[in-house]
Amino acid sequence: MPFVELETNLPAGRLPPGLAQELCAAAADILGKPAERVNVTVRSGLPMVVSGSAEPCAQLLVSSIGVVGSAEQNQRHSARFFDFLTAQLGLGTERIVIRFYPLEPWQIGKNRTVMTFL
């Protein structure tokens, strides 16, 4: 069950329509998970600084069970997420940062229990 959170200082009006849905589909493909399991949040217009500059920027947080736990996995994911984000947001790669967090099944609650028991 991946959680994908995009934060940017770009105003909402500069984001492409349907960005959350497109990011959901892209994340499902990149991480090899069904789209029905992907959770996406997009936050725009935030006060942000990346690499010491408040110029247009974004950060992506990707948390999931089993698919973001190694440097090799994340290197592949990173390249594909960067391709998506640069195309969708019109930002250079130097203005985007991605953080990957591996999760354990007991860390995610769903249907009154945790994923360990589902």
pTM for the model: 0.95
pLDDT number for residue 66:
94
Which residues are catalytically annotated? 2
pLDDT at 7: 98
Query: Where are the chain's structural domains?
Result: 1-115
Residue pLDDT, tens place only, 61-84: 999 999 999 999 999 999 999 999
Tens digit of each residue's pLDDT (9 = 90 or more) over 95-108: 999 999 999 999 99
The residue-averaged pLDDT of 21-48 equals: 98
| Rounded mean pLDDT, 42-68 | 98
pLDDT computed for residue 99 by the predictor = 98
Looking at the domain 1-115, which fold is it?
Macrophage Migration Inhibitory Factor (3.30.429)
Distance separating alpha carbons of residues 118 and 106, to the nearest angstrom: 10
pLDDT of residue 39: 98
Query: What average pLDDT is seen over the chain?
Result: 97
